[in-house]
Structure 1
């Protein structure tokens, strides 16, 4: 497994809505994530800074790199655009983090 960490930003007044949308995540979105090799996916919120920290494990970088182009992912990005900082294509503005420590 390849471990990935990233940060994103949710709008300060949209914390509850962001959480609600993820509690109600579409089953077809979850299935697509799994089809693209995602496992053990968590997102954490720092309410003081509105920073999101995402952690997931993937099977393969090439397989994972195809996820953004899927129809369901594009719909999800459009759905999430009003609640978080996004790029012009509606993808979340995110910063990939470099792993500096891991313990099993």
Structure 2
């Protein structure tokens, strides 16, 4: 039995903000990194498809993760506010996220 799960989702970058998005993530706040680890995220990768501005995100996390608690943390809300000007966001500044379904895995 696996003690981790993997998820993937898409977010959306506003045009012309590729370098700024990269810069902000290169300088991710230590308190935010700590919150992600505390929530049970083991691996978090984001890939940019430059022509569309789509951000493909992948997370590997513990089965008993507490990711659902992140939106209630002040550091998470602050990060969302910080990123809201360069991403498509919801009214609360959380990023617009669309989950992806796994259709292939190698090796299976």
TM-score normalized with structure 1 length:
0.94
The 4+ residue runs of structure 1 with deviation greater than 4 A are: none
How much is the aligned-residue C-alpha RMSD, in angstroms? 1.3
1:54-65 counterparts in 2 under 5 A?
Answer: 54-60=57-63, 63-65=66-68
Q: Which residue of 2 aligns with 1:66?
A: 69
* Alpha-carbon shift at residue 61 of structure 1 (Å): 6.1
Q: Distance in 1 between matches of 2:38 and 2:65?
A: 12
- Could you say which structure has the higher helix fraction? 1
Q: Which residue of 2 aligns with 1:100?
A: 103
Gaps of 5+ in 1: none
TM-score normalized with structure 2 length:
0.90
Gaps of 5+ in 2: none
Q: Which residue of 2 aligns with 1:4?
A: 7
Is the partner of 1:21 in helix, strand or coil? helix
Count of aligned pairs between the two proteins:
104
* Alpha-carbon shift at residue 60 of structure 1 (Å): 3.2
Structure 1 or 2, whichever has the larger Rg, is 2
